[in-house]
Structure 1
Amino acid sequence: MAKGKDVRVRVILECASCVRNGINKELPGISRYITQKSRHNTPNRLELRKYCQYCRTHTIHGEIKK
């Protein structure tokens, strides 16, 4: 299979709160997770609630472009 034709693709999820607030001096970094999704079942961008170690709470993590 060609790289562009794979049904399951690897996606990177990034914390929306860390990006919106910028990087605080006390909390260095942005939380990121790597996962997979099916192009057929979820053609839109993926959003999941995941734990952010920098915000110290569960927040929305959205798919970013590689």
Structure 2
Amino acid sequence: MKTIVTTNSRTETDMQHEVSGFLFTVVSASALIIGIWGVACLVGGLVSGGFMSLVKGYLTALTGM
């Protein structure tokens, strides 16, 4: 004897959850890129003039003197 089974599958998508997950990924990737850029700039400043020159330039930028 064979039994016929009918199944109905339905998929519901929570759009707010999907959009917030996507935006979280975009913001996290942007923060990562900005962080890498900041580290690259710091390393470039250290290589070009040394630590003391970097500190002097930072203090000059803060005080304007």
Please give the TM-score of this superposition, normalised by the length of structure 1: 0.22
Which of the pair is proportionally richer in helix? 2
Q: RCO (CA 8 Å, sep 6+): is it higher in 1 or 2?
A: 1
- The structure with the larger Rg is 2
Please give the TM-score of this superposition, normalised by the length of structure 2: 0.22
